[in-house]
Amino acid sequence: MGRDKAWTVEAVAERLGVTPRTLHYYEEMGLIPNVQRTPGGHRLYDEETIERIEHILRLKDALGYSLQEIRSILSTEDQLRTYRERIREGREPEHNLHMLEESVRLLEDVLQHIDEKMAKLAAMREQYLDRLARIRARLDREALHRSLDKPIDSEGQ
Amino acid sequence: MGRDKAWTVEAVAERLGVTPRTLHYYEEMGLIPNVQRTPGGHRLYDEETIERIEHILRLKDALGYSLQEIRSILSTEDQLRTYRERIREGREPEHNLHMLEESVRLLEDVLQHIDEKMAKLAAMREQYLDRLARIRARLDREALHRSLDKPIDSEGQ
DNA sequence: ACCCAATCTTACGTTGACGTGAGTTTCAGA
DNA sequence: TCTGAAACTCACGTCAACGTAAGATTGGGT
């Protein structure tokens, strides 16, 4: 089972642009279960766990979800993964239909959330692009004035 | 000067989906200056102010800016507006070039922020669309199984 | 074997963005 | 004019998401 490079808290924290405390806190909140440990108790993060944390940070920063909401989203996704594995093992899970439907509902909610946010952002983008264009035009006029009013002054230290 | 329909706090709050306290707080933080008042001291919001508040809410909810950051963004935009008015009055503002450049920088920062966020959202959208498609496929297979295993049961109450 | 930097747990502190009374004053309609 | 609903101003409370300090333990290089 190959690529099990282990990362320390500080390494992961620096890589993801957060502090160790944040990683501890997420674990404490139940967002990242089953973090590996050294015999002495130091945390070790594998690539899969780091990707999970990156997912958490995207849900938080880009979508603005609270950690509680993220936990519920992740737990549903975890349930789904568990379900997949049970299927692969040939076991017959109960309540699979219900669970699948719930997953669909959750994913649709998240997608709608994403779409709404993208729409808002697109509108704001247009608005700000417009403003920027106007100011740039004015800046050009300003520069023109100066070049006419004052003597030529290229490369003034 | 035309359309000066005045709104009360509760009306504005309900329209924007916030509480009166939030509007008070934004004013207290210096995000919405010059709110009109009745002789008795009750606040009156005109259309322009409401649009400003909507702008604030977009910057907060869609872009995730803190109120401090929003204040600095708005103050720069206000400066720009003041500058425009001074130009129209024929007065000659000082430091206009510097101010325009600063405005450009700020707007570029916001735009970059928007673009980064949209990129993240687009990536997440793809990812979630993919997952949703997979689950829907599995749901279809489940439904098929059931329709084969069990007797026909159309329109079960 | 040693040492010091990194990590651990525990627990209280902080900050932003409001929530929530309390007591008073204002407004709009009958 | 009168009255109840709505608004006002303090001012303290709350909650999420970490920050931070303390004291003990661990791990990797010389």
From first to last of the 157 residues of chain A, give the pLDDT tens digit: 445 789 999 999 999 999 999 999 999 999 999 999 999 999 999 999 999 999 999 999 999 999 999 999 999 999 988 888 888 888 766 667 888 898 999 999 999 999 999 999 999 999 999 999 999 998 888 778 767 665 555 444 3
The SS3 assignment for B121 reads helix
In angstroms, rounded to a whole number, what is the distance separating the alpha carbons of residues A125 and A66?
25
Size of interface A-B (CB pairs under 8 A): 95
Among all strands, which nt has the closest C1' to B22 (CA)? C18
**According to the model, what pLDDT value does residue A95 have?**
62
**According to the model, what pLDDT value does residue A150 have?**
57
Residue B112 token pair: 């970059």
**According to the model, what pLDDT value does residue A127 have?**
96
∠ CA A124-A125-A129, nearest 5°, is 120
What stretch of H or E contains B44? strand B43-44
The total of other beta-carbon atoms located within 10 Å of residue A58's CB is: 17
In angstroms, rounded to a whole number, what is the distance separating the alpha carbons of residues B59 and A68?
23
**According to the model, what pLDDT value does residue A148 have?**
67
| Residue B34 identity (one-letter amino acid) | N
Choose the mutation target among A132, A149, A150 for the interface with B, i.e. most B CBs under 10 Å. Answer: A132
Partner-chain contact A128 B111, CB within 8 Å: yes
DSSP annotation of A48 reads H
Partner-chain contact A131 B61, CB within 8 Å: no
Residues of chain B with pLDDT below 70 are: 1-3, 92-95, 146, 148-157
Pick the closest to residue B68 from B59, B77, B79 (CA basis). Answer: B59
Reported for B144-148, long-range contacts at CB under 8 A and 24+ positions apart, including other chains, are: B146/A97
Task: For tokens 């403003």, name the residue.
Answer: A131
Partner-chain contact A61 B64, CB within 8 Å: yes
Q: pLDDT over 70 for what percent of chain B?
A: 88
Partner-chain contact A135 B80, CB within 8 Å: yes
Contacts of B79 in chain A (CB under 8 A): none
Residue A19 token pair: 């502090």
Contacts of A142 in chain B (CB under 8 A): 96-97, 100
**According to the model, what pLDDT value does residue B127 have?**
96
The residues, ordered by sequence, that sit 6+ positions from A95 with a Cβ below 8 Å of its Cβ are none
Strands A43-44 and B43-44: unpaired
Q: pLDDT over 90 for what percent of chain B?
A: 69
- Residue pair A7/A44 in contact by the 8 Å Cβ criterion: yes
Q: What is the dihedral of CA A25, B64, B77, B56, to 10 degrees?
A: -120
The SS3 assignment for B10 reads helix
